[in-house]
Amino acid sequence: MSKTLSIDIGGSKVKAMVLDEAGQPVSSRERMKTPQPATPKAILAVIEELAAKLGGFDRISTGFPGAVRHGVIETAPNLDPLWKQFHLADELSALLKRPARVANDATVQGFGAISGKGVELVITLGTGLGSALFIDGISLPNLELAHHPFRASNTYEELLGQKALEREGKKKWNKQLQKAIEQLFNLFYYDRLLVGGGNAEHIDFKLPESVHQIPNIAGIIGGVALWDSAAIGAVTRVD
Q: Is 33 helix (H, G, I), strand (E, B) or coil?
A: strand
- Name the residue type at position 93: S
Each residue of 59-69: pLDDT tens digit? 999 999 999 99
Cα distance between residue 210 and residue 234, in whole Å: 24
What dihedral do alpha carbons 186, 187, 192, 196 form, nearest 10°?
Answer: -110
What confidence score (pLDDT) does residue 142 get? 80
Q: State the average pLDDT for the chain.
A: 93
Is 17 or 235 the better-scoring residue by pLDDT? 17
Yes or no: say if 120 and 136 are a contact pair by the CB < 8 Å rule.
no
Map out the domains of the chain with their CATH numbers.
4-105 (3.30.420.40), 109-213 (3.30.420.40)
The pLDDT-based confidence of 152 (bands split at 50, 70, 90) is confident
What confidence score (pLDDT) does residue 214 get? 96
Q: Does the reported pTM lie above 0.85?
A: yes
Each residue of 73-89: pLDDT tens digit? 999 999 999 999 999 99
Residue 103 has pLDDT above 70, yes or no: yes
